[in-house]
Amino acid sequence: MIIGIDLGTTNSAAAYMGQDGPKLIPNAVGEFLTPSVVGIDTTGKLLVGRAARDYQVLEPTRCTSLFKRYMGMEKLTRIGSQTFSPEQLSSMVLTSLKHDAEAFFGTKIHEAVITVPAYFNDNQRKATIAAGQIAGFDVKRILNEPTSAALAYGMHDGRGDRVLMIFDLGGGTFDVSIVEVFDGALEVKASSGECFLGGEDFTTCIASNLLKQKSMSIEQAELKHPRMVSRLMQQCELAKRKLSQEFQVAVRMPNIEGDFDEGNDSIAVTVDDFDAWTDRILQRIDSPIRRALGDARLTRDDIDQILLVGGATRMRAVVDRIQKIFAKKPQSHLNPDEVVALGAAVQASLFSGDAIVNDLVVTDVCPFTLGISINKTIGDQPMSGYFMPIINRNTTIPVSRVDRVSTMRPNQRAIEIQVYQGESRMVKDNLQIGRFEVTDIPLGPAGQEIDIRFTYDLNGILEIEATIVTTGKKVSHVITQYSKSLSPAQIRSAITQMQSLKIHPRDEAANDAVMKRAERLFKELPPHARNQLGQLIEGFEGAMELQEKHAIAEFRELLDRTLDILENDGDSEIDSYNPW
């Protein structure tokens, strides 16, 4: 069995192909979305998902999130006394999803399709494969998120020929893909996007503007009062969601210790404030849309359906802007949080050759231009640093292209190939993704020729081969030098470090999640309103202490219901304490 995994910036999900279509796999607390948050509590126990997200509000330095943004970079994150790479942090989420799938199917699961933003570069894709390996997966395919969503929609909506635009705004990344559907085949015509644009930027923007009103910058506040910022972010996240339905919300401001004072210091934020603050962020969706349309040689009017993917497309402002650009209402008849995982399950099923996906065909593209640095003679001066594209952006993959370069000087024995990704004329404005040397070039005049072949595979991984034309000598190079991707030895050592972490038995995950949520809400309630919740928490602790399964389950349910009321319900008695 191969499962499909959406490894998201804020939430992750796993899915499989059922009898009548793709289905999500519930996690240990019975939910389909697992927050991409990890933490280690004071006893050294690893927390992943909802428990970690609740724990993060109270103990931000013992937890971390948004690590997908750093995939492929050399950024270590400290949690408690240990440090972890983004690959390791992602592997913890993947391991949790793996255990959920194994519990669901009652069998070991070894293979997965994992999705990534279409705009992820070589480094980020390799880091995702490494994360999968650390979690014990054989990663069968790295699949682009919008392509995955198109597969889910293709499967769901049937055959009719049409042109789709997949608009995918997640927690941290933005992708837009244009997909043509004809005769059951899905052809991605063009993809574009931004790796640093997502729902979290809108939340941070609210927080930053509120702190400004208190004469603080968010960067400073994060350094000096991390707990305050963490709790404010949580309030801003709620506000962001509510502002899609309401004209005004009150954001509770924590004090510098991160607690809510009894006086209830809150600031009103209106839809107009939100729109004014976030307009610059929202404008950034325009240029990837324009690029994708241009590359697909289509205009706005050619798009039949705009499909929304990613939780951040629930923002009213996003829907309004799309509607303004296309004069068409975007659709989201599949849940935007779940559709990518469902599509990954469809791709997994294509691998397994299941009858249900019988003649479904999908083709994808390489979303950016790949090439090398060359010198040019301008006038009679040799000038360096020009970008020579070898694979142009939005070429259908897999693709293999060759181009020829030559030596500049007589008797030049070696040439350095510097590999770049990007759209600029000069390499200094593009991203360097690799570098290697071709040596043993035969002695002779300038102009010795070398063929450079780029091969970009279905996972979006680039391989390069250089051939000295006169001798036939070949140098093969998978981009690894700059990819900071982990070597097999590093992956083994990461696995060992993971094994040393205390992972809680899965059947206790639900208790953990409820406890962490209860502790967070307890602190949020004004002291005079804490009694009832305090008693429930103690009852639950008592039941766990005595290991009475029945009582544990009863208390957990009661506690869960009470917490739901505290957080959501409009007309309960407890809600009179809720400042919302």
Under rule CB under 6 A, residue 237 binds ligand AMP? yes
The reply to whether 11 sits near ligand AMP by the rule CB under 6 A is yes
Q: Cis omega (within 30 of 0) on the bond before 336?
A: no
Q: Which among 87, 145, 337, 524 is annotated as catalytic?
A: 145
24 within 8 A of 338, measured Cβ to Cβ: yes
**Stretches 53-61, 233-241, 272-280, 515-523: which one binds ligand AMP (CB under 6 A)?**
233-241
* Closest C-alpha among 92, 105, 100 to residue 17: 105
- Indicate whether 343 belongs to the interface with ligand AMP (CB under 6 A): no
Position among 141, 314, 477, 517 found at the interface with ligand AMP (CB under 6 A): 314
* 8 binds ligand AMP per the rule CB under 6 A: yes
Residues with Cβ within 8 Å of residue 571, at least 6 apart in sequence: none
Cβ nearer to ligand AMP, comparing 6 with 59: 6
310 makes contact with ligand AMP (CB under 6 A) = yes
193 is a contact residue toward ligand AMP (CB under 6 A): no
Tell me the torsion sign for CA atoms 569, 574, 578, 580.
positive
Q: Which of 23, 75, 241, 504 binds ligand AMP (CB under 6 A)?
A: 241
Only one of the segments 157-165, 174-182, 193-201, 208-216 lies at the binding site for ligand AMP (rule: CB under 6 A); that segment is: 193-201
Task: Please report how close the Cβ of residue 313 comes to ligand AMP at its closest, in angstroms.
Answer: 8
Q: Which of 132, 146, 154, 199 binds ligand AMP (CB under 6 A)?
A: 199
Residues 6+ apart with CB under 8 A from 34: 11, 12, 13, 27, 48, 49, 50, 93, 96, 97, 100
315 lies in the binding site for ligand AMP (CB under 6 A): yes
Which residue, among 39, 47, 46, 49, has the nearest Cα to 11 in the 3D structure?
49
Look up residue 311 and give its two tokens. 């939780």
Per the annotation, the verdict on 168 as an active-site residue is: yes
Residue 568 has, within 13 A of its CA and on its CB side, a CA count of: 6
Which range in 185-193, 307-315, 463-471, 526-534 contacts ligand AMP by CB under 6 A? 307-315
Report how far residue 25's alpha carbon sits from residue 119's, in angstroms, rounded to the nearest whole number. Answer: 27
Among 10, 121, 209, 430, binds ligand AMP (CB under 6 A): 10
Q: Which of 87, 168, 180, 364 is catalytic?
A: 168
Smaller CB distance to ligand AMP: residue 334 or 537? 334
Cα–Cα distance, 73 to 482 (Å, whole number): 10
Going by the DSSP 8-state scheme, the letter that residue 334 receives in this structure is S
Stretch (H or E) spanning 225: none
Specify the DSSP element, H or E, that contains 4: strand 2-7
Closest CB to ligand AMP among residues 145, 180: 145
Rg of the chain over CA atoms, in angstroms? 26
Question: For residues 87 and 237, which CB has a smaller minimum distance to ligand AMP in the complex?
Answer: 237
Q: What are the distances in angstroms from CA 415 to CA 22, 123, 440?
A: 50, 24, 9
557 is catalytic: no
- CA dihedral (50, 53, 54, 58) in degrees, to 10, reads 160
CB of 243 to ligand AMP, least distance (A): 8
Q: Among residues 49, 72, 170, 193, which is the contact residue for ligand AMP, using CB under 6 A? A: 170
Residue 165 dihedral angles phi and psi, to the nearest 5°: -115, 120
Three-state secondary structure call for residue 284:
coil
Give the burial class of 30: count Cβ atoms within 10 A of its Cβ; 0-12 exposed, 13-18 middle, 19 or more buried: exposed
**Nearest-angstrom CA–CA distance, 532 and 528:** 10
Instruction: Report in angstroms how near the CB of residue 170 gets to ligand AMP at its nearest.
Output: 3
Q: Is 428 a catalytic residue?
A: no
To the nearest whole angstrom, how small is the minimum distance from the Cβ of residue 312 to ligand AMP? 4
Note if 301 is an active site residue: no
For ligand AMP, the closer of residues 132 and 171 by Cβ is 171
Residue whose C-beta lies closest to ligand AMP? 199
Residue 574 Cβ vs ligand AMP, minimum distance, rounded to whole Å: 23
Q: Which of 151, 312, 319, 344 binds ligand AMP (CB under 6 A)?
A: 312
Q: Judged by CB, which is closer to ligand AMP: 240, or 291? A: 240
Candidate list 41, 54, 59, 68, residue with the active-site label: 68
Footprint of ligand AMP on 203-222 (CB under 6 A): 203
For 361, the token pair is 């065909």
Q: How far is the CB of 8 from ligand AMP (least distance, A)?
A: 4
Q: Does 240 bind ligand AMP (CB under 6 A)?
A: yes
Q: Are 569 and 576 in contact (CB under 8 A)?
A: no
Backbone angles phi, psi at 467, to 5 degrees: -125, 125
| Residue whose CB is less far from ligand AMP, 10 or 96 | 10
Indicate the residue among 336 and 422 with the shorter CB distance to ligand AMP: 336
Q: How many positions of this chain bind ligand AMP (CB under 6 A)?
A: 20
Distance CA 392, CA 389 (A): 6
Residue 51 or 370: which CB sits closer to ligand AMP? 51
Residue 311 interacts with ligand AMP (CB under 6 A): yes or no: yes
Closest CA to 250 of 235, 236, 269: 269
Interacting residues with ligand AMP (CB under 6 A): 8-11, 170-171, 198-200, 203, 237, 240-241, 244, 310-312, 314-315, 337
Which active-site residues does the annotation give?
A: 6, 68, 145, 168
